[in-house]
A and B are shown apart, each in its own frame.
Chain A
Amino acid sequence: MIVGIPAWGERVSPVLDAAEQLVVLESGTEGRGSGRVVNLSGLSPWRRVAAIRKAGVEVLICGAVTRPLMESLSAGGVQVVPWVSGRMDEVLEAFAAGRLQDGRFSMPGCGRMRRRGMKRGRGKGRGGRGGGGRGPGGARGTSS
């Protein structure tokens, strides 16, 4: 199985749409230096999809990804495992052992969205204007 991971140094790149490098490797050969590196720097979403498909990636493990990009990839036959964070070697090891979904590697707030049938988050990011705010009791936990 050909696995692709957008790489940011030794970590999984936080945003696939903006990732600059893709490491492509055969599952089971992790850590043997067999990975190929595909340059994604500056590619438009269309070219990004084309480059990932052209690299023969069957499973793409990535961080955040916009829905149109994920849908384009999965419709093109690439299985996308999104919202993953962490060190690449640990992520690959967990993937090989079937432990990638156990929560440790999930980005915060992303447990409820897997592949399809995504549910919206709370609100739509515009609420709260002029809402009166909270009293002092609501201002807890700031550590600065």
Chain B
Amino acid sequence: MAQREKSEASVFPGTRNSAAAVLESIADGVFTVDLDWNVTSFNRAAEEITGVEKSQALGKKCWEVLRASVCESACVLRKTMDTGRPIVNEPVYIVRSDGRRIPISVSTALLLDDDGEVVGGAETFRDLSVEEELRRELKRRYSFEDMISKHHRLLEVFDTLPDIAESGSTVLITGESGTGKELMARAIHNLSPRSDGPLVIVNCGALPDTLLESELFGHKAGAFTDAKRDRAGRFALAKGGTVFLDEIGDVSPALQSRLLRVLQDGTYEPLGSTRTERTDARVIAATNRDIASMVETGEFRNDLYYRINVITIDIPPLRERREDIPLLVDHFVARFNRLKGKDVTSVSPDAMEILMRHDYPGNVRELENAIEHAFAMSRGRVIRAEHLPQRILPDDVREGERPESFAEAEAAFLRRALEQHDWNRAATARDLGIHKTTLWRKMKRLDIAEPGG
């Protein structure tokens, strides 16, 4: 029986040359290791998926080449070598040499010589990037990679996000339109013990008052003209999960008092009903308005404000964290490559300079749209200035004055920032939202020195 399992797990015993030719031509990555985990063969697809050339991979330990999430704790090849049983389509991820996380599925087999002796193992793997991107789009299940920032305030938020998520407290997320408030709410929900429960999103600014009330709390048949049958509200649908109330600053005073009651004791009555319902849903609220000022002017209830303002996360606008723009551009390029089946490899220096200079009244969403626009306009592998939307092109971009590389654009940007602060590095770093040692390292790398300093 054990011998049969070994045979099932073996790869082309005794057919070396033809098997090797086939392996070179297939789209799945394939590599083999000897009994000391040294890579002994590495096909062309493996080179493409990992970003490691065959000549560099051969003779190296497999974990140095593949760099998979399971190498350390649950190596699939080791399991096969130990048990003799193949593993089929195990989902893991690898880290490419450019820092990209690539989801793959791996399968393993024993490697036998002509006498049936085990001489190593074989692993095949398939790039699942496109499938995962589509799944993420469908389920909108965002992760760490989607929340990219080097801004000090956001880094502090990221540090505490797991604790915020686990606390179960009501959270108020503030920030301009397009900064990613919903993304933050999703991250909190996904990190929380309620992640298996639903996340129900309600845009309070999009519905008239009575409709919003029915939407939130539900109604009984006959409660109003069109109410033909009973309908559960969003709070009922969010049982065991989270309700995300977007644009909460737009809620009318009457509805504010009903929301206050939900937040105070978790109870409400559906429209047309006298029976009190209970909800256990967690509430995350968001607004792009200055609610503190609305409290002062009486537009927003003081007591509701204090109920939703238990934990506040303020997301800075993109113009205040320009250092994040190259990271975000890279992220969106990778995402649209996967979604649109393209192979854009870079953004030209002049296009990047324009992207760095723009003020982004629409914030991250505007940047994302600009990259999507460029994808539609570009036919090649490089996004150039002419592919960007007209609205973000500055008036003062003149031929001959453009820096030749991104490094020069970054250097020019940092010099301007340092000059604005009389070359005070601490103040400049604070203003840019980066650590002062990061600024110092950038200055060293870009050879920026204070004039006469």
Contacts and interface: CB of A to CB of B under 8 A. Distances in A.
A99 interface: no
Nearest to A83: B97
Of A19, A126, A133, most B-chain CB atoms within 10 Å: A126
Interface stretch (B52-60, B198-206, B214-222): B52-60
Interface of B: 11, 16-17, 19-21, 23-27, 32, 40-41, 44-45, 47-54, 56-58, 60-61, 63-65, 67-73, 95-102, 111, 119-120, 122, 127, 129-130, 144-145, 148-152, 155, 158-162, 191, 327, 330, 334, 337, 343, 345-346, 406-407, 434-435, 437-438, 441, 445
B237 to A, nearest CB: 27
A143 B160 CA distance: 50
Given A15-B67, A71-B327, A125-B51, A66 B99 contact: yes
Nearest to A19: B72
Interface in A21-59: 44-47, 49-50, 53
Interface residues of A, number: 65
Interface in A117-144: 117-136, 138-139, 141-144
B48 A109 contact: no
Nearest to A67: B99
A75 interface: yes
B95 A17 contact: yes
Given A71-B327, A108-B57, A128-B44, A139 B24 contact: yes
Contacts of A142: 16, 19-20, 23, 32, 40-41
A94 interface: no
Contacts of B51: 109, 121-122, 125
A129 B27 contact: yes
Contact of B24 (A17, A113, A133): A133
Contacts of A44: 144, 162, 191
Contacts of B434: 75
A95 interface: no
A61 B64 CA distance: 15
Given A53-B159, A139-B24, A17 B438 contact: no
Contacts of B56: 108-109
B95 A65 contact: yes
Of A13, A49, A72, A129, most B-chain CB atoms within 10 Å: A72
Given A66-B99, A67-B98, 14 more contacts: A8-B72, A15-B69, A17-B101, A20-B72, A44-B191, A75-B151, A108-B56, A110-B97, A124-B334, A125-B102, A133-B21, A141-B41, A143-B32, A144-B40
Contacts of B50: 109, 125
A63 B102 contact: no
Contact of A113 (B25, B98, B111): B98
Given A67-B100, A119-B98, A144-B16, A14 B71 contact: yes
A108 B52 contact: yes
Nearest to B330: A67
B449 to A, nearest CB: 19
Interface in A99-118: 107-110, 112-113, 116-118
Contact of A144 (B53, B69, B119): B119
A125 B48 contact: yes
A68 to B, nearest CB: 5
Contacts of B40: 142-144
Contacts of B161: 46
A35 B120 CA distance: 36
